[in-house]
Structure 1
Amino acid sequence: MAATEAVKKAIWLKGLVAELSLVQLELIIRCDRQSVIHLIKNQRFHEHTKHIDVIFHFIRDVIEDGDIKVEKVITDNNVADMLTKTVLLAKFAHYKDLAGIGGKKVMHQLIDKEEPNDQDPSGSQTKKCINQIFDEMFEDQVRRGKENRSGHEIKEGKKVMHQLIDKKETNDQDPSGSQTKKCINQIFDEMFEDLDNSSIKSCIIFKVNVRLRESNPDAYTPKMVSIGPYHKKNPQLGPMEKYKLLYLQRLRKEGLDVKSCITYLEHLKEEALKCYDDIEDLDTDGSHEFCKMLLLDGCFVVEFIRECSEIYPKGEEKIISFVDYKYNQILRDLLLLENQLPFFILDWLHLITMQDDDELSLEELSITMFSRVVNLGYILTCDEYHLKRCRIYASDMKHLLQVVHGVSCQRNFKICSNDDIKWNKVMPNATELSEAGVSFAKVSNMTSLFDIKFENGLMTMPSLHVVDSTEILLRNLIAYEQQSIDLEYLYFSDYATFMDHLINSNKDVKLLRRKGIIKSWIGDDKEVARIFNKMRNGVRSYSTFYYHEQYTSISAL
């Protein structure tokens, strides 16, 4: 039908040309559909053509008389497409060339205009502007997706167009194409400007990666108070801001100079910023927002820890007491990886606000506070000697979560090799081991959560108290290990891997519970099994796997 309309117009144009006394021996109609050409030349009736009205069949007579000739044209050379379809800009220029109405030559004259001026002698700004125009056109095509064109085709077109625009055409003014290269280099120089490899290495307060987060996002998200920049703009945590101000107000009454603090924090700001991953939507220039956050959040943490150790001004009440419903939630939030301040900020605020020279150090106060609420069994045995020994490593403290991690682990020297070989072994679960003759027993004198041994068919393990906060604490300690680059042993990650192999179902939990190895306060055994089976998602173990010997001994059974 479309071909018939084209022929009708062709006949009219042929008549017009004849009236102008011009001779045209043969008129050619080009069609990109081979099936249409066959249909025009074939007089047979076909069931697929019964919907075509008889009036459209006159084209066959015209073709048979030889007045007009129909030829096949490949799609790439079908000039009519630029008027009837949405096409890529590069193809549009090609069609214009075929039609003899401009095309690449005109476009190059527009893009690579060689008329220098005082403000832009190289024409680089003109090129940049046109690049932006075409980028907007391509993005619009991607959004609309007309004629079922895929985003891939449009991106390819964009790539071709940039090659066309940035094509190195030598000329008298710029024989080497250096101006074009300079423009591109300037763009990337701006991108590289704020890139600092040292900031990547010094990051200690991470955003939890997607693989760890996806199985339980709530385990890494504060519910009561925001500490640091990552969750600062969460409106649900807004009510706690007034408590931060109350703690700061109390410190001001005791002599804290807020202005001097902000001034000093400005000197520490760059070092503090490097402790975080990319911080979005936080004004760190000019308005002191980042430093005000460090002061408010830091004073809140320091004073809250002091109150937990019964250190607060005489004659005043605690701002947040033990019986307050917020207390346990705050303790939970202070042990989240994404909810931390650099320890050197907290330690400095603690030192300048001390009212008693005999007051314990901040790391000792922190360990004492968390030992009351972290029900993993290992901190509960911390004695005065252990606390004093922690002071030796105060300079290595990174944040509160790392303090808990440090006193939980027997040793953790800085990594001394780049061995990145993954540990990928399998082990029978507790039920299968029991059926194979292995016995289980609880460690009598527990010194560490990780003190698991297997000798002569007997597996001894420390007791683990599973409470509401257990999964959250373990997950955040694991996230810290998985994203740190300076740890030799990943104690909690390897413990989670070992327990995931040991526990496959509620039957395994029941067996360990009867032996006193697991003490659950959260409900049925299925829930405990679920915690350990999901906790290991996204966790990687390496060749330094802490339970290598135990695996080897069990494999020898």
Structure 2
Amino acid sequence: MSSHDAALVTKDLFLLENQLPFEVLTKLMSFRNPDHKTRMKILTAFCDQVRAFPPGTELKEKITKFFCELPRSLTLGSSQGPAPDQPAAHLLELLHKQFCSRTIVPEQSEKSSFKNDSQMNWYRYYPAEELRSIGIHFKPSKTGLFTDVQFKRRWLISRSLYIPPLRIDNSTKSLLLNLVAYEASHGESNESRVTSYVCFMDSLIDTPRDVQVLRSKGILLNTLGSDEQAAELFNQIASRLIPDPYAYIQVKSSIEKEHRKVLKKWVAMWLRVYFNSPWTFIAFVAATFTIILTAIQTYIALFPLKDR
């Protein structure tokens, strides 16, 4: 297969309507190669390749290796999270487990505390460019898990929002839509992890400028061609989705609290304007020094020193 054909086959493999039960799939693959030794390595490597960031080895080699060595029986694991209790029913569910292995909803006690706090029952959405203007920095998470979104405070004014990196290409929309469709077919809120992730990203992306902010920080790798196309991708997918209201609730709460602190907004804006580059910093120091000298000169002119 050519690389183009391999990409099309991969897209078809993860369509919800194309899913074969693993019991059938592994039976078919056993005629080709019954070896069990490398089953976990093959499966996880194949799923890793689908969401590779940046792209790694040739995709067609991964597909060939996958079909040649898929074992009869399957006990799933994940290279990025704990192994699930039950094996996946099909390939799409395997990918979902691989990249959504952590919960994004708080414990029951934490849910109760948020319910009792009337001020924390709703949160406004702020685009990435606006959050950057108040001093919130964006950084890629150390894992590719859709659920690995964190808000961390360091020192007095340093605040960072960690988001899993994502490569955006021609297959991204299809992959996200099928993962969302898979979650909708289950009908359980605790399974709405990709749905909640897409809605959260949509809340950060309103315009191409927001995409540029996330792209400049290594969170998005846009291979579609323009930031406008990437922004439209999330806006279109999330237009009719309903996320879990408790997904990323600690992150949303922290962002809302930070946005209400007017003094920190001023400090963040001052740092962004005058310390954005060495040249602006030098200009600021020079201007400050000039003002100080002018003030001293004016004071001496108004109140000359008396000769002793």
Contact 1:446 1:462 in 2 (8 A): yes
Task: Give yes or no for contact 1:428–1:502 (8 Å, CA) kept in 2.
Answer: yes
Q: How large is the RMSD of aligned CA atoms in angstroms?
A: 3.6
2:21 to 317, 342, 353: 342
Query: After the TM superposition, which residues 41-440 of structure 1 pair with which residues of structure 2 at under 5 Å, given as runs?
Result: 321=1, 323=2, 325-351=4-30, 353=31, 355-361=33-39, 365-375=42-52, 386=78, 393=85, 396-411=87-102, 425-440=123-138
Aligned residue identity for 1:396: P
Q: Give the Cα separation in 2 of the matches to 1:484 and 1:378.
A: 31
Render the CA deviation track for 1:507-550: whole Å, top value 9, x for unaligned: 1111111222211111111111101111112211124x321111
Provide closer, same or farther for how the CA distance between residues 534 and 481 of structure 1 changes in structure 2, counting only shifts above 3 A: same
Partner amino acid, structure 1, of 2:19: Q
Task: Please state how far the C-alpha of 1:345 moved relative to its aligned partner.
Answer: 1.9
Which structure 2 segments of 5+ residues have no match?
58-75, 116-120, 154-158, 259-308
TM-score normalised by length of structure 2 = 0.62
What is the Cα deviation at residue 411 of structure 1? Answer: 3.5
Pair 1:490-2:167 in alignment: no
Question: Secondary structure of the residue that 1:375 maps to in structure 2?
Answer: coil
Distance 2:98 2:148 in 1: 14
Aligned to 1:92: none
Unaligned runs of 5+ in 1: 1-320
Q: Hey, what's the Cα distance between the residues in 1 that align with 2:103 and 2:165?
A: 22
Point out 4+ residue stretches in structure 1 off by more than 6 angstroms: 377-380, 389-392
Tell whether 2:260 aligns with 1:550: no
CA contact (8 A) 1:377 1:449 kept: no
Shift of residue 461, structure 1, vs aligned partner:
2.2
Post-superposition offset of 1:489: 3.9
Counting aligned pairs with the same residue, the percent is 27
Distance in 2 (CA, whole Å) between partners of 1:341 and 1:385 is: 19
Q: Secondary structure at the match of 1:536?
A: helix
Q: Could you tell me which residue of structure 2 aligns to residue 23 of structure 1? A: none
CA distance 1:377–1:403, change in 2 (3 Å): farther
Q: Distance in 1 between the 2:11 and 2:231 partners?
A: 22
Q: Does 1:450 align with 2:147?
A: yes
Cα gap change, 1:532/1:392 in structure 2, threshold over 3 Å: closer, same or farther? closer
- Structure 1 residue 392: Cα displacement: 7.1
The equivalent of 2:181 in structure 1 is 479
Kept after mapping to 2: 8 A contact 1:412/1:487: no
SS in structure 1 of the partner of residue 50 of structure 2: coil
Letter paired with 1:459:
L
Shift of 1:377: 7.0
Query: Which amino acid counterpart does residue 554 of structure 1 have in structure 2?
Result: I
State the Cα distance separating 1:378 from its structure 2 match.
12
- Secondary structure of the residue aligned to 1:441 is strand
Q: Give 3-state SS (helix, strand or coil) of 1:546's partner.
A: coil
Q: 1:356 to 1:411 in 2, by over 3 A?
A: same
Q: How big is the shift at 1:485?
A: 3.2
Letter in 2 for 1:430: A
Residues 1:536 and 2:215 are matched in the alignment: no
One-letter code aligned to 1:331? T
Q: Find the residue that maps to 1:537 and give its secondary structure.
A: helix
Assess if the C-alpha contact under 8 Å between 1:371 and 1:379 holds in 2: no
Contact 1:337–1:479 (Cα < 8 Å) also in 2: yes
Deviation at 1:463, TM superposition (A): 2.2
Amino acid aligned to 2:133: E
2:139 is matched with 441
TM-score under structure 1 length normalisation: 0.36
Supply the AA of the counterpart residue of 1:437.
Answer: G
- The CA distance in 2 between the partners of 1:484 and 1:534, in whole Å, is 22
1:404-446 Cα shifts (integer Å, max 9, x gaps) = 1111112369xx99x9x9x974311111112222222233x33
Task: Decide whether the 8 Å contact of 2:124 with 2:256 is kept in 1.
Answer: no
Question: Which protein is bigger by CA-based radius of gyration?
Answer: 1
Q: CA deviation at 1:390?
A: 8.3
Q: Deviations over 1:141-181 (max 9, x none)?
A: xxxxxxxxxxxxxxxxxxxxxxxxxxxxxxxxxxxxxxxxx
More RCO (CA 8 Å, sep 6+): 2
How many residue pairs get aligned? The number is: 223
Quick one: distance in 2 between partners of 1:402 and 1:546?
Answer: 20
What is the letter of the counterpart of residue 138 of structure 2? F
Residues 457-479 of structure 1 show CA distances to partners (whole Å, capped at 9, x for unaligned) of: 32122322111111111111111
Provide closer, same or farther for how the CA distance between residues 372 and 524 of structure 1 changes in structure 2, counting only shifts above 3 A: same
Q: Given that residues 440 and 515 in structure 1 are in contact (C-alpha distance below 8 angstroms), is that contact kept between their aligned partners in structure 2?
A: yes
The residue that corresponds to 1:240 in the other structure is none
State the one-letter code of the partner of 1:431: E
- Maintained 8 Å contact 1:366/1:400: no
What amino acid does structure 2 have at the position aligned with 1:452? V
Q: Which amino acid aligns with 2:98?
A: V
**Which residue does the alignment assign to 2:291?**
none
Opposite residue 451 of structure 1, the aligned amino acid is: D
Kindly indicate whether the alpha-carbon contact (under 8 Å) linking 1:375 and 1:466 is maintained by their aligned counterparts in 2: no
The one-letter amino acid paired with 1:434 is R
**In the alignment, residue 10 of structure 2 is paired with which amino acid?**
L
Q: Superposed, which structure 2 residues align to 1:12-31 within 5 Å?
A: none
